[in-house]
Structure 1
Amino acid sequence: MTDAESPPSELQQRFLIALNNAITRGRAPGHDTGLGPHTLAAMTLVAQDHPDTTAQLITEAYDAFNREHR
């Protein structure tokens, strides 16, 4: 994958921070993050499943991010 195909590092950083908050605090990301609707929906499911979120839900959040932003 080339740099041109990679998501902007700032957006990727926001994704990782928001995902960490969803996993560890059960906090869904806000719509002001710049993340796409499918990524937000997947991360909301992760947050709602806190503190017992599954690897499957986390994988789906990564997949949604990659589909929308790569």
Structure 2
Amino acid sequence: MAALRLAGAAVDAAVLQRLGELGFLPGEPVRLLRRGPGGREPLAVQVGDTMFALRRAEAACIEVTPIAEVGP
């Protein structure tokens, strides 16, 4: 699990806005569930109770900081 913050430098403002609308907000816990075939995209991530599939370009807009695991 990780706490995320949007890495806004040199990224498309529309992508940042959309990620924020989906719930990718500073300090919000996010979990990487799995990667696509061969470890590539899409990346399956969970924010709250919702699972999303992200392309690497979208995931590159998110900076994560590891935090202690909380429960299963």
Normalization by structure 2: what TM-score?
0.29
Please identify which structure carries the higher helix content. 1
Normalization by structure 1: what TM-score?
0.30
Greater relative contact order (Cα < 8 A, sep 6+): 2
Please identify which structure carries the higher strand content. 2
